[in-house]
Amino acid sequence: MERYDCKTAQTGFCAGYAFVFKKEKTIRYERGDKEEEENRLNRAVLTLGKRLEERRDSSDNTEAELIDAELMILNDESFTGTVSSLIKNEGADAPGALERAEAILCGRLAAAENDYIKERSEDIKGLISSLAAIITGNETASPEKPCILAGEELSISDLAAFDHGLIKGIITNTGSPTSHLSVLAGNLGVPYLFGLDSITEVIHTGDYLVVDGGKASVLINPEETVKKEAERKQEENEKARAERRKQAETEKTKTGIYANITGTEEAEAAERARCDGIGLVRSEFLFLNRKNPPAEEEQFEAYKHIVEAVKGKEVIIRTMDIGSDKSPEWLTIPDEINPALGQRGIRVSLNNRELFRTQLRAILRAAVYGNLKLMLPMVTALWEVDEAISELKQSAEELKEKGESYCMPETGVMIETPAAVMIAAELASKVRFFSIGTNDLAQYALAIDREAKGLDDYFDPLHEGLFRMIGMTVEAAHAHDIPVAVCGELASRPDAVEKLIRFGVDELSVSVSKLYEVREAVAEIESSFPTDNSLI
Ligand code: PEP
Ligand code: MG
């Protein structure tokens, strides 16, 4: 048995078998004879074609259309012909021919005037990387049964294609408690440890692991008695959790306890867990791990589903917070030295107006079906809010002209940059609510990238400076009679909740898995000062 000390991003305890996630490597060059290289290419085209057809047959209309477009390219003579002529005439091996074909074909498309044709180069890139992965055997495997995921520098994009229900715990080499991976682990209600060096050398797929978030340690391949003890502890925790849930069933709190979600299924889970509403829909998750952005119709269906799932309760949809570590492959963002300070959130929306308007139309239409509100991420200036509201109005006009029903949602902003804190009073006069994104506010206030490596001793999410910023924001909001929520990870930290409530925060928005424990904690805190909920 080996024991390693790590750092805790999400608490909890689990035991089970490891699945080590390895990222795709770059293409290997292998020179075979021409005929063999052509055969490798043809076999890969057939395999990919079959997979795409199978996926199309089990997809909804919108996705099926996208897959059909990919199949058309894959079966087009000018696509396969270009690759095989590089093998035949220039002696390239199959992976090398694919790489060069990408440059040739995408170069041709880039010269086209029509945007639609230009955008096809993303389909070509996607097809080429899938073919290369099949040929070189470098396809990324996904776990098929419950497992504890271990990997180097895992990002949420790496996990987007996984069945999240199979993940019992996560361990990585680098990380931080406010990284998006940590947010995901919180959503799943699983422990997440980081800080295990050479992780892919010490943990192998199939190893038995005991992950203890409380002790910040992992045991690898312990003896039978330790395994039995860990499994017993796991069962006990499960029972205790069910009991807490039961208790929290009847608790009522003055502070709203809202849920943070990333997709439609979580909306139902949040409703079952008695959320007071959905305080944050991270809508960008709808845009990740795909070859093209979701069409208006697909977005409309998703937002409508969420709104209906919570039966009239408030739902706050954050417009896509794309960029930094949540960059979809279909969007070209120039290389950035520091992506956290680059094209992110509202900036991406305002720099890609058609994309933004498509989302706004979908939100406006879904608002007809319930109590939907819209929230803008990463705001730093008043003009950004003015511009976004003007886009919202224009999108509403477009729907009106088409005779579509829509409803104008209330608009709020996320307070997650120091600049937004400093102009909170002015922002409060333009919008109807605030939600403080403490994950980002901490990174920008402390000047530490939330995905930074090796700086976790400096990353103090309970820093007094951060709490003062929260206090200033609440004061500005309440002076303008608008409510304030906290939707970052701080909202579910037992060592922060009381302070937030005493500061006068009106709502806490937390991952679905934390709804019960936060509700219970808040009920207890509120019962100690039932009539005075203000800063003391
Ligand atoms: C935050 O920054 O606190 C937040 C809730 O948004 P995200 O974690 O998605 O950036
Ligand atoms: Mg944020």
* Residue 234, domain CATH: 3.50.30.10
447 and 356 belong to one structural domain: yes
440 Cβ inside 6 Å of ligand 1:
yes
Active site residue 204: no
292 Cβ inside 6 Å of ligand 1:
no
Ligand 1 site-directed mutation target among 156, 179, 183, most atoms within 8 Å of CB:
183
486 neighbors 522 (Cβ within 8 angstroms): no
**Residues at Cβ < 5 Å from ligand 2 ion:** 416, 437, 440
Per the structure, the count of domains in the chain is 3
Reading the chain (536 residues) residue by residue, the pLDDT tens digits are 889 999 998 989 999 999 988 765 444 445 557 888 888 888 889 888 887 787 677 666 766 777 788 888 888 888 888 999 989 888 888 888 888 888 888 888 877 766 666 667 777 877 887 788 778 766 556 777 899 999 887 776 667 667 888 999 999 988 888 787 888 888 888 999 999 988 988 998 888 999 999 899 999 999 999 999 999 998 998 888 788 777 777 778 999 999 999 988 899 999 999 999 999 999 999 998 888 999 999 999 999 999 999 999 999 999 999 988 788 889 988 888 888 999 999 999 999 999 999 999 999 999 999 999 999 999 999 999 999 999 999 999 999 999 999 999 999 999 999 999 999 999 999 999 999 999 999 999 999 988 887 888 898 999 999 999 999 999 999 999 999 999 999 999 989 999 999 999 999 999 998 999 899 899 989 988 755 444 44
Cβ-based neighbour number of residue 402 at 10 Å: 9
Tokens linked to 188: 């799943």
Q: Any residues with CB less than 8 A from the CB of 468 and at least 6 apart, and which?
A: none
Cα(187) to centroid(ligand 2), Å: 15
Cα(415) to centroid(ligand 1), Å: 10
From the candidates 180, 204, 275, 305, which is the catalytic residue?
Answer: 180
Burial degree of 187 (CB within 10 A; 0-12, 13-18, 19+): buried
Is the Cα dihedral 521, 523, 526, 527 positive or negative? negative
Q: What angle do CA 18, 273, 234 make, to 5 degrees?
A: 30
160 and 262 belong to one structural domain: no
Ligand 1 site-directed mutation target among 416, 417, 434, 436, most atoms within 8 Å of CB:
416
439 Cβ inside 6 Å of ligand 1:
yes
pLDDT at 70: 81
379 Cβ inside 6 Å of ligand 1:
no
What angle do helix axes 34-57 and 115-136 make, rounded to 10 degrees? 110
Q: Which domain holds residue 90?
A: 34-136
Q: Which residue's C-alpha comes closest to atom 10 of ligand 1?
A: 440
pLDDT at 464: 96
Active site residue 487: yes
Starting at the earlier edge strand, list the strands of the sheet with 13-21.
2-5, 217-220, 208-212, 13-21, 147-151, 167-172, 192-194, 7-10
Alpha helices per DSSP H over 450-530: 464-479, 494-502, 515-528
96 and 10 belong to one structural domain: no
Cα(215) to centroid(ligand 1), Å: 26
User: Quick one: how far is CA 90 from the chain centroid?
Assistant: 43
181 and 104 belong to one structural domain: no
Q: Which residue's C-alpha comes closest to atom 9 of ligand 1?
A: 282
Cα(487) to centroid(ligand 1), Å: 7
Q: Where does a domain end: 188, 215, 241?
A: 241
DSSP annotation of 399: H
Q: Where does a domain end: 90, 107, 136?
A: 136
Q: What is the CATH number of the domain that holds 267?
A: 3.20.20.60
